[in-house]
A and B are shown apart, each in its own frame.
Chain A
Amino acid sequence: MFKSKISRRRLLGSAVAAGGATAFFGPWKHNRVYAASTDKPIRIGLTADASGQYANSGASDRRGMIMAIDEANAKGGVLGRKVEYFHIDTETTPATGSRVAERMITREDCGFLVGALSSGVANAIGQVAQKYGVLYMNSNSSSPTESGENCHRVKFVWDGNGANFAKAAIKNAIDSFGSKFMLLTNDYVWGHDTAAATRKLLTEYGGTVVDEILVPQGTRDFSAALLTIQQANPDVVAAAVGGDDQKAMRQQVAQLGMGSKPAWINNQQDWPDVYGLPVDNLFGVFGTTWYYRLDLPGVAEFVQRYQAAFPETAMRVPGNVFYNGYMCTRELLAAVERAGTTNNIAVIKALEGHVMPAKDRMQHFDAMIDPVTHQVQQTIYLATANTAPAEKDDLFSILTQSTPEAVKDTAAPGACKLESYEATPTFDA
């Protein structure tokens, strides 16, 4: 439905391409000087929330992107061009996301957009980005709809989603705790999508759903739900409660000491949401895509780089949100190098199907950008609260790691209809 017409930008883009012949500057890029001072910088718009519900995670996300950009510039830029970034607060509000994306593309001349926590904001930005053909990296929104019905040709999704985490957790939970499940679901799109994925897996593995409790978005008191859970007495509670609701719930479950009986499966626990809290605030089993104490080469050095880059930050070690923000920006810039051009279609093609070795991503298994859904298929870790921490920040204890194939979101390819290349406006950033 979007017309592929975008006169001013395309005009601008082709003018630069004609005058620039950017790939030519390649050989000088190792000299740590920008190949040509007349060459315009590559501009990246950082669409991170700085206020609203995801302000804190947004800040972490943004630090990840900035570190990746700074590292690229220290190596002499990308295609010999300097990488610049520009940030505006997206306020955890979709309508603001739309406006910010419009401004970044039409006024700030950003050729790429990076950053998201809330799926609403990610959708809004993704839609505007698709209209202009600007590549958009959804760094941290884990709603299954992002790589399902709301997928776009220009949008790439870098976090694991609710379906991935459910896959990693459900079979394990049936084996260890029992098959009687109760669902505690936030009554909004993300909650329902995640619960649906859980239900499907339960039928597959022989579990049963005793009951589903829907809690409205904005719930601050979970006592009624927790009483109902006790009365029903299930083996496992699979919770899909997010945002501030989850923070309130965590607090109340910890007070009741209900974190171990029944067993709980929580969705992903974002590091900025739990950092600095007492360990009993973490309960049950939950997913993550990365942890700063994974015993893999490069991790320790990555943590040091983080600490050197952000000496003032209260969060002393990076977490999954920072990791995703960093990885998606770094891989975007790497794709531009591989494509040898900033032409958007060429960069999209360089990303689609790209395999990222486990070593480079500091995960256990190789990751791949799915060409059908544009979601990164990656290692998913199950973790629980660490009762024997090695240091103050050592909150997680990693239980298992699943291969990308084992946790693949099988519903997404059917739901995702990417726009064709022809329907995506083309330009050089």
Chain B
Amino acid sequence: MLALLPHIVNGLTLGLLFALIALGFMLIVGVMEVINLAHGSLFTLGAYLALSTIGADWFAGTGFGSWWLGLPVAARYVVALALGPLLAGAAGLLLELCLRPTYGKAPLYGLLLTFGAALVIEEVIRLVWGTGEQHLPIPAGIDGAFLLGGLIFSTYKFFAAGFSIVAILGVWLFLERTPYGAIIKAGAHDSEMVRALGYDLSKLRLLVFGFGAALAGLAGVIMAPIWGLRPHLGIDVVIPAFLIIVIGGVGSFWGAVIAAILVGLAVGVTGAYAPAWSLLSMYVLLVLVLGFRSRGLLGRKSALEN
């Protein structure tokens, strides 16, 4: 049992990271009922934009560039942690404009459009940043490792898990405690009502999609130091995000968070006892949960079923 404990701790951190990965995907699917297959590409884009911010790729030769590069990594990292997701969010706004013709049609079209967009974004990343593996620097304070019960744990991973708790709570508070959140949630349930109350539905959708894309980018910046950074990183992201939403139930915030932690635990614990099956455990979990609850853990009826 004592040997299992570190693996449970590890599974929990992993679960929190999965939750962060799925956050933006969940928001868009829950509110807009669009399955955003470009989520992984926006995730990668966010990380690359943060990389370029830290390394001052666009203005390296200028006076500002040399001043900027003279700053400590920590300062540049904090700015990149904000700027990378913001720019990814801007790309999300553009994508939302492309999505507009698909509203009111079968959900399939949104899914297909974002599939195409994912191809395009990935190729653009390849063109701009090249195909090679890149390294996203992180401040020394959150790098390195610490000893706990005779075992080494990664400091950064705990920072990342803590960060995702903050992000999860932040998004939840935004949805629950602000007027914007109330409108967004209303929009998810009844777009006619939102319109009737005099809010601009298209602006609302733009906002939500941009926000979801920014969350994807944020997850990318946080995950890049753990997974590495390469143009096709996105494919590693979409599948877990997908699984988590389905297991948790489409449209349920806490369902997704619980599902993410379950997936993390499943992967972490099988990783200890039957490592060869650790990746498959997610799918087994999916089939098990959906076998008993066809809408996932906390899912509600959704237009996506039609």
A176 within 8 A of B: no
A266-324 interface with B by 8 A CB criterion:
272-278, 281, 314-315
Interface stretch, picked from A128-136, A139-147, A226-234, A353-361, is: A226-234
Closest CB of chain B to A249's CB: distance in Å? 9
Footprint of A on B, CB under 8 Å?
A: 3, 6-7, 10-11, 13-14, 126, 130-135, 143-145, 150-157, 225-228, 230-232, 236, 267-269, 271-272, 275-280
Question: A216-B276, A219-B278, A314-B130 in contact; A224/B227 too (CB < 8 A)?
Answer: no
Q: How far is the CA of A273 from the CA of B133 in the complex (A)?
A: 6
**CB < 8 Å: which of B7, B134, B280 contacts A276?**
B134
Closest CB of chain A to B164's CB: distance in Å? 14
B152–A251 CB distance below 8 A:
no
Q: How far is the CA of A231 from the CA of B5 in the complex (A)?
A: 12
A210-236 interface with B by 8 A CB criterion:
213-216, 218-221, 223-228, 230-231
Closest CB of chain B to A403's CB: distance in Å? 32
A223–B151 CB distance below 8 A:
no
Closest CB of chain B to A262's CB: distance in Å? 11
Q: Which residues of A contact B226 (CB under 8 A)?
A: 220-221, 248, 251-252, 255
B131–A55 CB distance below 8 A:
yes
A187 within 8 A of B: yes
A247 within 8 A of B: yes
Count of chain A residues with a beta carbon within 8 Å of a chain B beta carbon: 43
Closest CB of chain B to A273's CB: distance in Å? 6
Q: How far is the CA of A314 from the CA of B131 in the complex (A)?
A: 11
Q: How far is the CA of A59 from the CA of B10 in the complex (A)?
A: 38
B154–A223 CB distance below 8 A:
yes
A-B pair count, CB < 8 Å, reads 119
Known contacts A215-B278, A216-B280, A255-B225; 5 further A-B pairs (Cβ under 8 A): A55-B232, A224-B268, A252-B154, A256-B153, A258-B152
Closest CB of chain A to B1's CB: distance in Å? 13
A231–B132 CB distance below 8 A:
no
Closest CB of chain A to B76's CB: distance in Å? 16
Closest CB of chain A to B233's CB: distance in Å? 8
User: Could you name 8 residue pairs across A and B whose Cβ atoms are closer than 8 Å?
Assistant: A187-B276, A215-B275, A216-B279, A216-B280, A224-B271, A227-B10, A230-B152, A257-B152
A224–B143 CB distance below 8 A:
no
A231–B133 CB distance below 8 A:
no
**CB < 8 Å: which of A55, A250, A256 contacts B126?**
A55
- Name the residue in B226, B230, B275, B277 with the highest tally of chain A Cβ atoms < 10 Å from its Cβ: B275
Nearest-neighbor residue (CB-CB) of B18 within chain A: A221
Q: Which residues of B contact A52 (CB under 8 A)?
A: 232
Q: How far is the CA of A225 from the CA of B268 in the complex (A)?
A: 9
Nearest-neighbor residue (CB-CB) of A224 within chain B: B271
A208 within 8 A of B: no
The 10 closest A-B pairs by CB, nearest first: A224-B271, A214-B276, A56-B131, A55-B131, A247-B228, A216-B279, A56-B132, A256-B145, A255-B154, A187-B276
Q: How far is the CA of A1 from the CA of B149 in the complex (A)?
A: 60
**CB < 8 Å: which of B10, B152, B236 contacts A224?**
B10
Q: How far is the CA of A257 from the CA of B277 in the complex (A)?
A: 27
Closest CB of chain B to A314's CB: distance in Å? 6
Question: A251-B225, A251-B226 in contact; A227/B134 too (CB < 8 A)?
Answer: no
